[in-house]
Amino acid sequence: MKFKNLIVYWRTVLMVAEITLRHQWNDSFILFAIIVQPMIIAILALFMLRGLGGDYAMYVVVGSGLTGLWSSLLFISGNSINNERREGTLESLVAVPTPFEVIVFGKNLANVVQSLISMSSSYLLAALFFGYTLKMVSPLLFVGSVLISIFAFISFGLVIAPLFIIYRGIQQWQNAMEFPVYILAGFLFPIALLPAWTTPVSYVLPPYWAARALHETSTGAGDVEKVIFAWGMMLLFSVIDLFLASKLFKYMLYKARVDASLETV
Amino acid sequence: MQVWKRCEMKIFANNLRLFWQGTVLSYVALFAWFRPVTYAASKVLMPLAQIIFFTYLGSYATGKDSVDFYVIGNAIQITAVSGIFGVTFSISGDRWNGTLPYLFGTPANRMMMFFGRAFMHIIDGALGVVIALTWGALLFGVDFSQTNLSALGLTILVTTISTCGLGLLMGCLSLITANVMFVNNTVYFLLLIFSGANVALDTLPPWMQTFSQVLPLTRGIASARTLISGGSFAEVAPLLISEIGIGLLYGWLGYLLFKWFEIQAKRNGSLETV
């Protein structure tokens, strides 16, 4: 996907995001993915990790919020093209002059931004129901980390959605892909606990770098250099993901046109 | 007398046939579109990932000595995949696929029809637990050398039946609500807290402990932990009796709701719209 398209079509991106938000707000599964599930995981983690001392509450708030972000990306953004097909709007979206990936970018923007509610709801849960005093150590760096994480998650989602369409076999593993990323990205416990051979896998996952940046800025566990490095990795992976997405979208649409299977891909 | 007995036998045979056909067909209808790889993803890898996640999370806080606690808790809780999702979808499938009016149009025994929906999921769920415990032994070294395996097998079966009882009740709720995925997922995740799979029940607030006692799984998980740590069948027998009682109660409530739904839907002409 070309960066230029995001600037040229910024109005379209925002409009698609707005419509997506309006559309999805009545979907109970989405409410589950972005509010209920992260809150239940937060409750579990708050009970399970309470032996670790005071700072873990903020760690749990951020980590459980990230689980909501990933689940939303996997199930909602991952199915975003499929859903258009089911509703019969895919042909129209492909036919309009706006590049199709720009439209999916807007949809992913809405999904990822609405998923941030999961972090807020976990924050309220820990503060109001568990009575923790939660202190953000580096608020400015945290906000910066959130913004870059949003971009990294959207870009990652742009790779997942066409992959699920082109290779249906991958989508069959969708249910089994939720917890592995919670584990490998270190959302709620450090990846140092895992066997050493899994570390390179964690390093190629954008959610891992997002978790690092957000944990380090919220709990003060890392210095500025480490945070900047995590930002750099997220931006690097975003560029790679956008490049891959452009190829995948081109191939997906070409294949759909050749096979005349746009509605049945 | 002979004629009466023959008549009874015929009714019994018919009900048995209905039970078996309902069992097989509802299961096939649910999984027919699945490929083995999808089944493996849902029944083998997803449970494995859940066990790994909660075991690492728990042992991060309490150390490696507590690994067994989390592996066993989550392995038994995995039965809820079949018990909650499988059974619910088997019942709600009739609504979504438009076959409910035909079912309610037949004079078939409703109890056979209803409980038949859960039978295959009991076998499937128990198999899922065995797979999960095998993962626990292979990856986390859970030791079964002191375990009374037949008692553990009975525990798995009883816990799966009781979870399917809750699934039958949830399945009936799916006949009166469109938000079946929301309800199912929420119940599944709440069981992770309240069943004691991941948090020792005596560390929960009193109201949560009370709530745990009216749920399936709670006693099944406690029983499995006792048996694997070398406990005897006599120690867990009271737990298993309570566990099966709770499951049958939920199943019975589900059956009453199912009957009520049929009466209301026929009375209001809302069989396909409720």
* Choice between A40 and A27, residue whose per-residue pLDDT is larger: A40
Per-residue pLDDT, B25: 77
Per-residue pLDDT, A265: 47
CB B138 within 8 A of CB B48: no
Residue B14 in tokens: 């018919």
Q: Using beta carbons and an 8 Å cutoff, which residues of A are at the interface with B?
A: 28-29, 31-32, 36-37, 40-41, 43-45, 47-52, 169, 172-176, 178-180, 182-183, 188-190, 193-194
Residues A46-68 have a mean pLDDT of 86
pLDDT digits (tens, 9 = 90+) for A157-199: 999 888 888 877 777 788 888 999 999 999 999 999 999 999 9
User: Residue B6: what residue type?
Assistant: R
pLDDT digits (tens, 9 = 90+) for B124-153: 899 999 999 999 999 999 999 999 999 999
pLDDT band for position B273 (50/70/90)? low
**Residue positions counted in chain B:** 274
pLDDT band for position B9 (50/70/90)? confident
Query: In the predicted model, is pLDDT for residue A213 greater than 90?
Result: yes
Query: In the predicted model, is pLDDT for residue B27 greater than 70?
Result: yes
Mutation for B interface: A179, A184, A201, most B CBs within 10 A: A179
Of B42, B185, B199, the CB nearest to A37: B185
pLDDT band for position A126 (50/70/90)? confident
Q: pLDDT above 70 covers what percent of chain A? A: 97
pLDDT digits (tens, 9 = 90+) for B100-129: 888 888 888 888 888 888 888 899 899 999
Helix (H) or strand (E) segment spanning residue B39: helix B36-40
Of A31, A52, A173, the CB nearest to B41: A173
Residue B236 in tokens: 């867990």
Q: pLDDT above 90 covers what percent of chain B? A: 51
The answer to whether the Cα torsion of A73, A75, A81, A83 is positive or negative is negative
Of A44, A51, A174, the CB nearest to B193: A44
Residues B238-244 have a mean pLDDT of 96
Do the Cβ atoms of A44 and B199 come within 8 Å?
yes
Do the Cβ atoms of B57 and A169 come within 8 Å?
no
Residues B3-20 have a mean pLDDT of 77
CB B114 within 8 A of CB B15: no
* Choice between A131 and B73, residue whose per-residue pLDDT is larger: B73
Do the Cβ atoms of B52 and A179 come within 8 Å?
yes
Per-residue pLDDT, A196: 94
pLDDT digits (tens, 9 = 90+) for A244-261: 999 998 898 888 888 877
CB B157 within 8 A of CB B86: no
Residues B12-31 have a mean pLDDT of 77
Nearest of B60, B4, B14, B55 to residue B198 by alpha carbon: B55
Which ipTM score applies to this complex? 0.89
Nearest of B268, B250, B77 to residue B165 by alpha carbon: B250
Do the Cβ atoms of B45 and A176 come within 8 Å?
yes
**Could you write out the DSSP letters of every residue in A49-94?**
TGGG-TTHHHHHHHHHHHHHHHHHIIIIITTHHHHHHHHT-HHHHH
DSSP category for residue B216: S
Per-residue pLDDT, B30: 67
Query: In the predicted model, is pLDDT for residue B17 greater than 50?
Result: yes
How far is B255 from B246, CA to CA, in rounded Å?
A: 14
Longest dimension (CA), chain B: 70
Residues A10-19 have a mean pLDDT of 92
Per-residue pLDDT, A264: 67
Do the Cβ atoms of A172 and B41 come within 8 Å?
yes
Per-residue pLDDT, A54: 64
Residues A62-72 have a mean pLDDT of 92
Residues A123-130 have a mean pLDDT of 85
Query: In the predicted model, is pLDDT for residue B15 greater than 90?
Result: no
CB B29 within 8 A of CB A162: no
Any CB–CB contact under 8 A between B52 and chain A? Answer: yes
Q: What is the average pLDDT value for chain A, to the nearest integer? A: 88
pLDDT band for position B274 (50/70/90)? very low
